[in-house]
Structure 1
C-alpha cells in the first residue's frame, strides 16, 4: 500500500475525524481542516496535521493548499467532507440562510477542488472524494435546501469526473445513510429555530419526534462504516464512482428510483405519523 498525502475537510468530529484517525494509523500523511481546530488536537497527537480553515473563506483555503504543497509537494487525495443540514419549511427559511447552506455544501467544496486540481493534473494522478448523502438521491419534508445542495454535489461530481478523466484523476461520490454523528443535533436545532411555530408546526413536531426517536435508539450506523469505505477508496487503484453506505442508504435510494414519486411520497410521510 503506497503512502499518500490526504486532505480532509470537516474533520473536527464524526465521519471526518474517525476516518482521519484510521488513515493516520495506516501510515498516510493526513492534513485535517475545520473551523474548530481545538477539536483536532487528538489528531495532531496521533501524527496528523490539523489546520484551522473555514470552507467558505477563500484565503483560508489558499493558505491550506499552499502549506501542504510547500511541505509535501503534492496532494494525492482530497476528501470534501465539510457540510451540514439546514432544515425547516421553504416558506420559513430566509434565503440568506439557504445561501449559507450552498456556500458550505457546494461552493466551498468547489473552491477547494479548483485549487487542488492543478497539482493533481500536473502529477497526472489523484482522487477527489465528495461527500453527498443518500439525500442527494432522495428527499424528505423540511429538507429542501439541504437536499438541493446535495443533489447539486451529485451533478457537480459527475461533470467533474468526466472533465478529469484524461488526467487520471478519479472523482468518487460518497453517499452516507444515517450515521451516528452531530448531524442530527444540528438538523434539529435548525428546524426548531425556523419552523417550530406557525403553519408548519405540526409537520415540524412530527419530524422532530421521528428524528429524536431514531437517534435516541442509536439506530445510526457507526462512523467506522465511513472510515472503512474511505480507506478502501484511498487504497484502490480503480475505485467505484459511488459508494452508498450506512443505515437506510441503499434501500431508500432503491425505493426512490424504482417506486415512483407518489408511492415514495407515501412511504416518507408514513414515517412521520
Structure 2
C-alpha cells in the first residue's frame, strides 16, 4: 500500500487498493488520511473523493493542533530553548541577577564575589544547553582541587544551583542538571568563646577601632556590626546601652538591626569598664543631647576636620577611613566617603583607582594614618612593633606611591604627611612608636627630593604636642608590655604624664591642623616642615 506524506507533523494520505499512485486520480476508491491526534494516538479517516479533499482535512487538523494551548506552550518552550540554550552561562546569569530585585545590598555584593571569583572562572563561558550533572560535579571538584573553603564551596554551589534551577524551570533541560549531584558538605563549627586570658590579650591588640569593637562585643554581647555602630547617644543610663543599628560589614553602611524592623532596638547591660571605654574613645559632647551623632575616634579628628575644610574651599574631597563610621560627620558635610585600609595593598589600590576613574586626577593627598603602641623597647613584641611600622610607615608611603604616578602625569600635586612631633622628639616607653615617626620624617624628606622635578610638593605638618594622649587602647598595651617587671615604675610615670591636664592643654584642636593643611599657597612652595598650634585655638 503506497502513501503520500505531507510536511512533518501533518500526517499522510493514501488509497487502500491495488492501484499504483499514478492511477489514484482515476481510481473509484476513496482516499484515506492518517495523523496523530491530540493525545498522540494514531487516527485514520476515510471517505475523501479527491486528494485535495484529503490534504484539506490534514491541513485543518494540523492548524487545530497548532492553535491548541498545549501546542502553543510547547512552541514557546522551543523558542526559549533556542534563545537561552545558546547563551553563555555568564550572559544568562547576568539576566537572572537583574531579576533578583528582592536581594539586599550585602547579598548582591556576596553574589558578585562568588560569581567573579569561583563560578565564572569555572563555567562562565559554557553554553547553557550543555549543563548536566557531570558538569556540576566537576565544578565542585574544581573548587576542592583549588582548596576553596567548605563554606565558600557551599555558597558557590547554592548560587549555581539557583541559576540552573531557573533555567530548568524554563525548560532548557529535560532532566535537572543537579540530579544525583552530591553538594559540598559544610557543617559550621560551634562559635569559640574566648577565655578571660584571651580577652585580656585581645584588649591589648590592634588599633582604637579594634579595641572599641572588642570591648563592646565582650562587655555588652554585641555582634561585630552592632559594635561598629557605637554611638554615645545610645548610653541611655549608666548601666544600659541601647542597640539601635549596625554597620553592614559588606557594604560598610549603617543599617537596621539584623532580624528586626527599622526603628526597633534592644537594651543591654553596660559594664562600667565598657562605658568608660566608649566615652574615652569618642569626642566629648553632652550625654543629654538629642542630636544623633555617631562616634568619631580621636585619631580620625584631624583627617575629618581637614576633609571638611577642604570641601568648604571648593575641593572635591574623598575621605578615606577603615570603617564606615570614621567619616560620618564629614560625609554629611559633603565629603565623599571611601572605605580604605592602609594595611591592605588591594584596598588602597582599589580606592585610588576609583578616584582616578571618577575624576581623572589627584591634586592633594593628606596622609593622616597613625597607630600608637606603647611599652619599653625590650618588652614590646617584634610582631607588634612590625605591625606599627607597617601602618605608620609602609601604609602611608604606600598610599603616596600609588598617587605619585597620577601627579607626575599631570605635572603637579601636593602630598601632606601629618606626623606628630613624636617624629622629632621622644618620650620614654614610646620607642617603637617614635621610630616609626622618625622614619616617616626621613622618607618624606627623600620623597620631596625625588618628586620635586615633577612639580610635586611633599610637606610634613605636625601638631604641636606629643600626640600621645593615652587612650584606653594604649593603656592596656602599655600595661601588658611594661606594667610589671623592670620598667613598671617608668610606665606608671609615663601614663600619669600622658593623662595630665598639662598634656591635654598642649593638644592642638583638629581645626588648627585643618586650617594649616588647607591653607592655599599659590605664590610660593609650602615649607617642607611646619609645626601647627599649641593648645586650644582662640
Q: Please, what TM-score do these two structures have when normalized by structure 1?
A: 0.81
- Distance in 2 (alpha carbons) for counterparts of 1:169 and 1:66: 20
1:76 paired residue number: 363
1:11–1:17 CA contact under 8 A, matched in 2: no
Q: Is the 8 A contact 2:478 2:491 kept in 1?
A: yes
Residue 351 of structure 2 corresponds to 64
2:470 to 184, 203, 211: 184
Match of 2:443 in 1: 156
2:445 partner SS: helix
Aligned-partner Cα distance in 2 for 1:156–1:27: 30
Contact 1:88 1:191 in 2 (8 A): yes
How many Å apart are 1:158 and its aligned residue? 0.7
Aligned length in residues: 238
1:126 to 413, 419, 424: 413
Describe the shift of the 1:24–1:194 C-alpha distance in structure 2 as closer, same or farther (beyond 3 A). Answer: same
After superposition, the C-alpha distances for 1:196-247 in whole angstroms (9 at most, x for unaligned) are 1121110000111111113785442211111111011576752111111233
The verdict on how the C-alpha distance between 1:219 and 1:89 changes in structure 2, with shifts beyond 3 A counting, is same
Separation in structure 1 between the aligned mates of residue 298 and residue 337 of structure 2, nearest angstrom: 9
Superposition pairs of residues 187-266 of structure 1, within 5 angstroms:
187-214=474-501, 218-232=505-519, 237-247=524-534
Which position in structure 2 is the counterpart of 1:41?
328
> Could you tell me how far 1:103 is from its partner in structure 2?
0.5
Q: Show CA shifts across 1:167-198 (max 9, x none).
A: 0100001122228x895314434312321112
In the aligned structure 2, how far is the partner of 1:63 from the partner of 1:210?
A: 41
Instruction: Return the offset for 1:133.
Output: 2.2
List alignment gaps of at least 5 residues for structure 1.
1-9, 249-273
Q: Is residue 306–residue 511 contact of structure 2 (8 Å, CA) maintained in 1?
A: yes
SS in 1 for 2:391: helix
- Asked if structure 2 preserves the Cα contact closer than 8 Å seen for 1:11 and 1:82, the reply is no
User: Helix, strand or coil for the counterpart of 1:91?
Assistant: coil
Decide whether the 8 Å contact of 1:160 with 1:171 is kept in 2: yes
- Higher relative CO (Cα under 8 Å, sequence separation at least 6) belongs to 1
Q: Secondary structure at the match of 1:146?
A: helix
Q: In the TM superposition, what whole-angstrom CA distance separates every residue of 1:35-89 from its partner, at most 9, and x where no partner exists?
A: 1222322222211111111101000000100000011100000111100222100
Cα gap change, 1:84 to 1:111, in 2 (>3 Å): same
Matching residue of 2:132:
none
Aligned to 2:519, the other structure's residue is in SS state: helix
CA change 1:168–1:216 in 2 (3 A) is closer
The counterpart of 2:460, out of the listed 173, 192, 206, is 173
Q: What is the CA-CA distance between 1:117 and the residue it aligns to?
A: 0.3
RMSD (CA atoms): 2.2
Aligned partners of 1:36, 1:236: CA distance in 2, in Å?
A: 38
The answer to whether structure 1 residue 106 and structure 2 residue 396 are counterparts is no
Instruction: List runs of 5+ in structure 2 lacking aligned partners.
Output: 1-296
User: Distance in 2 between the 1:207 and 1:35 partners?
Assistant: 29
User: How far apart in 2 are the matches of 1:173 and 1:53?
Assistant: 22
Bigger CA radius of gyration:
2
